[in-house]
Amino acid sequence: MATNRLAREKSPYLLQHANNPVDWYPWGEEAFEKARREDKPIFLSIGYSTCHWCHVMEHESFESPEIAEVLNRNFVPIKVDREERPDVDRLYMTFVQASTGSGGWPMSVWLTPELKPFFGGTYFPPDNRYGRPGFRHVLESLAGSWASERDRMVDSGNQVLQQLEQMSRVAARGKRSLDKGLLDSAYFPFRRSYDATYGGFGGAPKFPRPSAFNFLLRYGHLRDNDEAIEMVIHTLRSMARGGMNDQLAGGFHRYSVDQRWFVPHFEKMLYDQAQLAVSYLEAFQISGDESLSATARRTLDYVVRDMTDAEGGFYSAEDADSVIDPSNPREKGEGAFYIWSAAELRDLLGTPTADIFAYRFGVEENGNVKPHEDPHGEFTGKNILFEQHTIAETAERFNLPEPDVKSLFADAEAKLMDARSGRIRPHLDDKILTSWNALMISAFALGARVLEEPKYLEAARRAVQFLRRAMYRDGKLLRRFREGDAAIEGFLDDYAFLVKALLDMYQADFDPAHLKLAIELSESMIERFGDPVGGGFFSSVEGDPSLVLRMKEDYDGAEPSGNSIAVLNLIRLHELTGEERYRELADHTLQAFATRLHEGASGVPQMLVGLLAYQTPPRQIILAGPSDEAFLHQLNQRFLPRHTVISLEQDEVRQLLQRGHPELAEMRAIEGETTAYVCENFACQLPTTDVQKFAELLS
């Protein structure tokens, strides 16, 4: 089978298109030079390998020889994996959103040979349908316009670039107040949009947004606002019961197409597992609800089992689509791997177990997905498992003891997992991304602490070791690893997320190597991405000729922005090291985004977390002497978002931090026992070797 240039790439997304008749180029100078030489516009297609509508557009248009002929004749086609090049994606997504009012993937953008956008959209059907113009029609129309109105289109590209430059300027318009009232104002939009019935914010479709959970939990905890905390806990419980949570294997699907978290879009993204595990762990710390810790455990176990590379890194995603019938592997359907007919369940479980299982998990004889929730008919006669009834309700309904019901479900779930393992799994995007791995390391570090589970700490350590070995070269981070190849210079989020992960790891095992590398990477991040004039951080390094604009990202969406995480890192580093420069940089960054915080705070909830940390006096816990599990247990079972723990068990830590905190020199173990110093701004209570007294001081 003939291939194009994408066959030489490592990205699973680009490789999916290597056999297209489209003459694809990867993003790079070879394609740009061809566009300039032949004076052709560029067609830029951006997506990712587990994107459902990317698959649809490939099948409908990019596999069509007729459409490929039009595309190859009139344009220079370029494919970009948005997960490899978030800088390119961010730049042109800003244009598409500004020009069309919406965005998404696949993203389709037409550029001048100088890389300036002049037309864009998302998915285009092959011909006119769904109220959308057909892709071939768009191609022919734009080719005609380029031939007859080239100067106008170039001018349009220049104007668009000027507008994007204005949009990307985030420096505050004059110094604006960042007082405590701003956080109260930021809270109310979440309160107004909260769905008190099903949890979440707004209507369908519903996306989990862990950065919003991060803000609300901290705001509620530090401001004694139980309502903010309850919104998060109710949402997390509802999500865990819904079809969005894989009820058999653990792990969360990308989002729910309906209001009640029932019908998911079935892809599983690493960044969702990482951030949601943290949300469930923190909610458990606050509430003590063991159902929340159980959900976190199942999510972490899913990543250990199904998303971990032999070398210790974590894979990126599993696809939404999967093979329906093994005899026809090219035919795939949304969620086919995960759904069941009632007859299948009866055959596998027998009676009465199948009846009991059906009651608990909402199974119906003719399928449990209503037609309006399944516009493409992919779930007809099938069931999405969700928790319709609790264990207690099920036990009461069938007049059985709860322990017997739990045992029954454990056996049933094992049988179904075994049967499901015989199906063809969804496509696995096995590339390893530094930023997403860092998010997952943070989750495992917290899971190891809260659940007191050594295997999670081991998973986190192996991933850190992998990133240090494979992705850190000559003082620089690389972004992507696949099949032995590490490539693409790291972006702001790679640095910021990994610094956070290392600080979280230090809180988990007190290894000074994590702290030293966090400081080293922070200095590199400041040098490579910092804006000493306007404040904040650019997303990419200076001097990349393939970018017509260097942007600063602030939106906390499916992932938090690099700037938001950088603010919190700088505050934590200031508290750990005593270096005033870190707090000044945090202040400068918050001021750079002050207008955004005032006028669109609901878009930057993770930056609100940084602002909350900036405004709230920190508490330090210094542990001198040998580590004691009883002391650590008291720490790890509590939600302490403004506490920093320093262990002086190793003199290396004392030496590393003593310059900024000379008082550490006097903090010693009493009579060789674990000794805790609980301090606020390093003004400390009397040290204690008594665990109960320590618990009282924490409270």
Which amino acid belongs to residue 656? L
pLDDT for residue 172: 43
pLDDT for residue 361: 98
pLDDT in tens, 117-169: 999 999 999 998 877 889 999 999 999 999 999 888 888 888 888 887 877 66
Q: Report yes or no: 287 and 233 within 8 Å, Cβ to Cβ.
A: yes
Mean pLDDT of 493-517: 97
Percentage above 70 pLDDT, the chain: 99
Q: Dihedral sign for Cα 465, 462, 218, 169, please.
A: positive
**Cis bond leading into 512, ω under 30°?**
no
d(CA 525, CA 494): 9
pLDDT for residue 175: 63
3-state secondary structure of 376: coil
Q: Residue 2 pLDDT > 90, yes or no? A: no
CB atoms within 10 A of CB 288: 10
Average pLDDT, the chain: 95
Look up residue 426 and give its DSSP letter.
P
d(CA 104, CA 53): 10
d(CA 418, CA 542): 51
pLDDT in tens, 306-339: 999 999 999 999 999 999 989 898 899 999 999 9
pTM of the entire predicted model:
0.97
Kindly report the length of the chain.
699
H/E element, 619 = strand 619-624
User: CB within 8 A of 325, min separation 6: which ones?
Assistant: 331
pLDDT for residue 170: 56
Instruction: Dump the DSSP string for 604-642.
Output: -HHHHHHHHHHHSPPEEEEEESS--HHHHHHHHTS--TT
Which amino acid belongs to residue 209? R
